[in-house]
């Protein structure tokens, strides 16, 4: 199993550009999450999804969009990138049941200049 | 979900037990205590979770007070590789979709 895979690992954007961060998991997990982590800070929840076709806002959703067309994929879209979106982005997933422990991807480091 | 309070940072000597506290005084009866850790800039890693009984696995032990208002994560023999940020999270199973992380405790294991 690959687990949770995020691409790209690094990206530099210019202000106003847009991009999509990819996240895919091969564990058949229903629940998927996007977090951002600013330097020296904790993780902030951006969006989450409880299944294909169902998404909801987290703590810091402004400036982002998500979609969930399949169980495996949960892309995060940045429109009109701003310097405040410079951060490390983590995708995570879990399945409901005994432990509901989150599995994380290795992250995408994004710089907006 | 209940709010948690953790110390910002702690040091521990290599080979000694690391005891990381977490306060969760507003915890509800159906909420579990979870611990994760994040080594350097990697994605966080699950360590352990529990409801009210003490739990132990190959990574750590979790001690939850009888009133469930606080807990302690114990790394019995800390190594340099345990240097990380440790997050305490309180959440209910099945029906609580938000998974909120706080700022955690930065543990530094000293040689």
pLDDT given for residue B94 in this prediction: 65
In the numeric block, which tokens belong to residue A98?
């005994």
User: Under an 8 A CB cutoff, do A43 and B46 touch?
Assistant: no
Residue A89 touches partner B, C-beta closer than 8 Å? no
User: Under an 8 A CB cutoff, do B42 and A43 touch?
Assistant: no
More confident residue, B28 or B97: B28
DSSP of A37-104, one letter per residue? E-TTS-EEEEEEEEETTEEEE-S--TTEEE--SSSSB--EEE-S--GGG-EEEEEEEE-SSS----EE
Q: In B, which residues are within 8 Å of A106 by CB distance?
A: 42-43
User: Under an 8 A CB cutoff, do A102 and B46 touch?
Assistant: yes
* Cα-only R_g, chain B: 13
Indicate left, alpha or beta for A59 from its phi (over 0: left) and psi (-120 to 50: alpha): alpha
Beta-bridge partners for A11: A110
Indicate left, alpha or beta for B103 from its phi (over 0: left) and psi (-120 to 50: alpha): alpha
- Over the stretch B2-44, which tens digit does the pLDDT of each residue have? 689 999 999 999 999 999 999 999 998 888 999 999 998 899 9
Nearest CB to B93 within list A45, A100, A109 = A100
Q: In B, which residues are within 8 Å of A99 by CB distance?
A: 46, 49
Q: Which of the 8 DSSP states describes residue A72? A: S
- Over the stretch B56-92, which tens digit does the pLDDT of each residue have? 999 999 999 999 999 999 999 999 999 999 999 998 8
In the numeric block, which tokens belong to residue B84?
């990380």
Average pLDDT of chain B is 92
pLDDT given for residue B73 in this prediction: 98
DSSP of A36-53, one letter per residue? EE-TTS-EEEEEEEEETT
Q: In A, which residues are within 8 Å of B104 by CB distance?
A: 42
Residue B1 has pLDDT above 70, yes or no: no
Q: In A, which residues are within 8 Å of B99 by CB distance?
A: 33, 45, 48, 92, 94, 102
Q: In angstroms, what CA-CA distances link B39 with A13, A61, A103, B82?
A: 27, 26, 14, 8
- Over the stretch A43-100, which tens digit does the pLDDT of each residue have? 999 999 999 999 999 999 999 999 999 999 999 999 899 999 999 999 999 988 777 8
Residue A1 has pLDDT above 80, yes or no: no
User: Under an 8 A CB cutoff, do A45 and B42 touch?
Assistant: no
User: Under an 8 A CB cutoff, do A92 and B41 touch?
Assistant: no
In the numeric block, which tokens belong to residue A17?
């550009």
């Amino acid at each position: 199993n690959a687990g949770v895979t995020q691409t790209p690992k690094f990206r530099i954007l210019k202000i106003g550009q847009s991009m999509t961060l990819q996240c895919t998991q091969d564990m058949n997990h229903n629940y998927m999450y996007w977090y951002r982590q600013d330097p020296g800070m904790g993780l902030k929840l951006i969006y989450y999804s409880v299944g294909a076709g169902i998404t909801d806002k987290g703590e810091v959703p402004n400036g982002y969009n998500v979609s969930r067309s399949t169980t495996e994929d949960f892309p995060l879209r940045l429109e009109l990138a701003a310097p405040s979106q410079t951060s490390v982005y983590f995708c995570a997933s879990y399945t409901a049941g005994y432990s509901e422990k989150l599995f994380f991807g290795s992250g995408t480091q994004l710089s907006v200049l | 979900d209940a709010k948690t309070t953790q110390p910002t940072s702690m040091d521990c000597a290599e080979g000694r037990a690391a005891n990381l506290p977490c306060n969760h005084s507003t915890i509800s009866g159906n909420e579990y205590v979870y611990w994760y850790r994040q080594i350097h800039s990697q994605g966080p890693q699950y360590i352990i979770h529990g409801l009210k009984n003490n739990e132990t696995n190959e990574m750590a032990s979790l001690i939850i007070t009888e009133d469930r208002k606080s807990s302690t994560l114990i790394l019995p023999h800390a190594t340099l590789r345990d240097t990380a940020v440790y997050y305490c999270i309180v959440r209910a199973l099945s029906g609580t979709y938000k998974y909120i992380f706080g700022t955690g405790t930065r543990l530094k294991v000293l040689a």
